[in-house]
Amino acid sequence: MIKPWKLSAFVVAGFVVTTLSITSVSAEEEAEDTEQDVEETEEDSEEADEDSDEGSEDESEARLFAIPDAEEDLLTLPRLIPDRFTYDSGVNIEYPEDGVRGIFSTAHSAGGQKFNELVDFVDSTDLNAMVIDVKDDDGFITFETDSEDERVQENSRDVITDVEGMMDTLEESQIYPIARVVVFKDTILGKQEPELSFTEGGNVWTNPGGSAFVNPFSEEVWEYNVEVARQAAEAGFKEIQFDYVRFPEGFGSRDDMLNYTEGNYADTDMDRYEKRIAAVTDFVEYAREELREYGVKVSVDIFGVAAMYDEPNIGQSFAAISENVDVISSMPYPSHWGEGSLPGIRYPDLEPYNVMDYYSQVENEVLEELDNPPVSRPWLQDFTASYLPDGQWTSYDAPEIEAQIKALYDNNIYEFLLWNAGNNYTPGVDYKLGLDIEIAGAELMEDDEEMPEEDSEEESDEEDSDDE
Amino acid sequence: MKKKVSVSGLALTLVLLSACTDSEETASAEDAGNAVDGIETYIQDFQTEAEQLLNVEEDLQLDFEEDLANDSEGALLEGTGQVASNLSDREDILQSLDSIHSQINQELNTIGQAIEHVDAEELPNDIEEFSVGLSDYGAELSQFIDEYRHNLSAQSEYFETLSSEEADFADITDGIENVNDTHRAMNANWYELEDALINMQEILANFEMPTPEEEGE
């Protein structure tokens, strides 16, 4: 499962990777030469000596064909697999042609009276998608599934009592359903099976908020979460959005005090940071491959700051994760940036356009470097961060939300999700800003706001949670 | 050791070549000279076509991806897509290789007739060894074509499976594995082909057919 060479692609400098490749090829050629010599020796020792004298240098020059390596595959599984080959849940909801614009719904909202209110809200606006908790922040699976996995059975709760009915409603309105699966933040599983978690003094470690995490090095944990994702796909969700795909915040300063296994990563040559990044990235890759037969898209929520700097303490590399997902959903909420943490922006919450504009440019630069960049679909702030010091926050109403959207459109990002923990979304927002998004880009709003000057290299305060 | 095998195979080769010949047909020393030139050209042609085979084969992944992307247009279902073209192109190349191989054999046949009917003094001393050597390596060309055809057939069967409405994800993945296994098995055949062509070129390079003028002097 561990692929150390893969880690090198995003950790080690390019020339080292190149060197390794060359070394590998040379070794194969050497082996091949040796093999041929052995055959000839068996046949005729004198001739073998002659061949040997001729040497491999002449041999390489004499080659007529660019014969592929013996281990090289002719075919690999293409990225795009038509629906007729994949699992058919019976729920027919297409990916929105002009991009996903969605809201978040807790399982309680989706399973209760609030659901119809949210559906009506989406129906009455230019929104078209809903992210619904399938595995919540505590680790509970939010509806009863047919899974034979004992852990899944044990941790399922009948919060969304009528999944089929919910899907029927979403299908009727063609609201694109995204299953949010909180992965490594999992108090329930951590406390049930401490060996899958991090312990301290014999007890499961919890963060200041009382939440436990399970261990990203544990492949049992990977399998469990992917099984939950399978159940979501079978229920009709069209996309699996993994959240908390990381080690606990602050892990870097306490990992020496915690007991946990590094699993298959223990005996590798990677340092502790590389191991974390490898584990988190490998989980994402594993999940995506395992879910391919379901035809669902895979997305990951990630700290906004991760686009600016790798987060080795928590194992998040924006680029490495992005290489392995269909959609990347960063969380660059204006309120989550510290005072002066972004160039030219003193109090980020007061400048939603500038924050999102700056962030979008940074993210675009990172994604442009990737061979197969995912769709960018950031989370936007649809809540008021009144917990910030007075003078550093503002009420988030339609203009502030539209400012964030405008910044995305100005940077050719046409998908977004709105976060409000209570699922109370601001009315009266123009989500398309009056533009025809299908031909957007050239016709987007005029650039009436200047980019903040990048006059410092100050590090930002990290967002302190994966959601609000 | 190798040389003994070659010499002992000489008689058999000549008999086989003669068996393919009209008993009335004969060949002159000049015909033999032309045949040697022809073989040289055909070996070059064979190499060029084999290179093309590799190039087209290399495109299969992109063709596959394109067909899957255009699946709703029936690219795989109706066999009208890029994959079908790729398979067809390679079958055409194999037929071309077949044809070139036959022509090499015909030229060898001509040389065989010359050896049988032309006064030995008019021909180079080593012409029999030359002919047998080329004939032995020529058999490897034929073997390569057969093996590649088998490989291509496995690929055709795979894509035929995907043209079924019943095909599922496992059919895609299992089939890819099978295709890759067969493909990998071809690797040794490519090296054998390459060695055969190099050896044939060496034999040709080391052989000299006297021109009629030289004979006259």
> What tens-digit pLDDT sequence spans chain A (468 residues)?
343 333 333 333 332 333 333 333 333 444 444 344 434 444 444 444 444 444 444 555 568 899 988 889 999 999 899 999 999 999 999 999 999 999 999 999 999 999 999 999 999 999 999 999 999 999 999 999 999 999 999 999 999 999 999 999 999 999 999 999 999 999 999 999 999 999 999 999 999 999 999 999 999 999 999 999 999 999 999 999 999 999 998 888 888 999 999 999 999 999 999 999 999 999 999 999 999 999 999 999 999 999 998 888 899 999 999 999 999 999 999 999 999 999 999 999 999 999 999 999 999 999 999 999 999 999 999 999 999 999 999 999 999 999 999 999 999 999 999 999 999 999 999 999 976 654 333 333 334 433 333 333 333 333 334 544
| SS3 (DSSP) at A330 | strand
A82 and B CB contact within 8 Å: yes
How is A218-243 classified by DSSP, letter by letter? -HHHHHHHHHHHHHHHHHT-SEEEEE
**H or E stretch at A191:** helix A187-192
A75 and B CB contact within 8 Å: yes
Q: Are B139 and B56 in contact (CB under 8 A)?
A: no
B78-96 core/surface letters (b: 16 or more CB in 10 A; e: else): ebebbbbebbebbeebbeb
Q: Are A331 and A304 in contact (CB under 8 A)?
A: yes
Q: Are B158 and B178 in contact (CB under 8 A)?
A: yes
pLDDT band, residue B211 (cuts 50/70/90): low
Closest-CA residue of A relative to B176 is A75
CATH class of the domain comprising B28-208: mainly alpha
Distances (CA, A) of A258 to A248, A252, A313, B116: 12, 11, 14, 90
Closest listed residue to residue A177, CA positions, set A47, A290, A296 = A296
Q: Are A105 and A117 in contact (CB under 8 A)?
A: no
A13 and B CB contact within 8 Å: no
Residues of A in contact with B171 (CB under 8 A): 85
The DSSP bridge partners found for residue A302 are: A330
Residues of B in contact with A49 (CB under 8 A): none
* Contact criterion met (CB < 8 Å) for B176 and A75: yes
B23 and A CB contact within 8 Å: no
pLDDT at B97 over 90: yes
Distances (CA, A) of B8 to B92, B125, B134: 36, 17, 15
Q: Are A129 and A137 in contact (CB under 8 A)?
A: no
Single pTM value for the model: 0.76
Please tell me the predicted confidence (pLDDT) of residue B117: 86
By Cβ distance, the residue of B1, B54, B194 closest to A43 is B1
By Cβ distance, the residue of B169, B187, B198 closest to A62 is B198
Task: Give residue A462's region: left, alpha or beta (phi > 0; psi -120 to 50).
Answer: beta
Please tell me the predicted confidence (pLDDT) of residue B30: 87
> What is the value of ipTM here, to two decimals?
0.83
Q: Which parts of A236-351 fold into alpha helices (H)?
A: 251-254, 272-290, 318-322
Widest CA span in chain A = 91
Give the domain ranges of chain B.
28-208
**H or E stretch at A121:** helix A114-123
Closest listed residue to residue B179, CA positions, set B153, B209, B205, B141 = B153
**Residues B22-80 pLDDT 10s:** 445 687 888 888 999 999 999 999 999 999 999 999 999 999 999 999 998 888 888 88
Which amino acid, B213?
E
Which amino acid, B197?
L
Rg (CA), chain A: 25
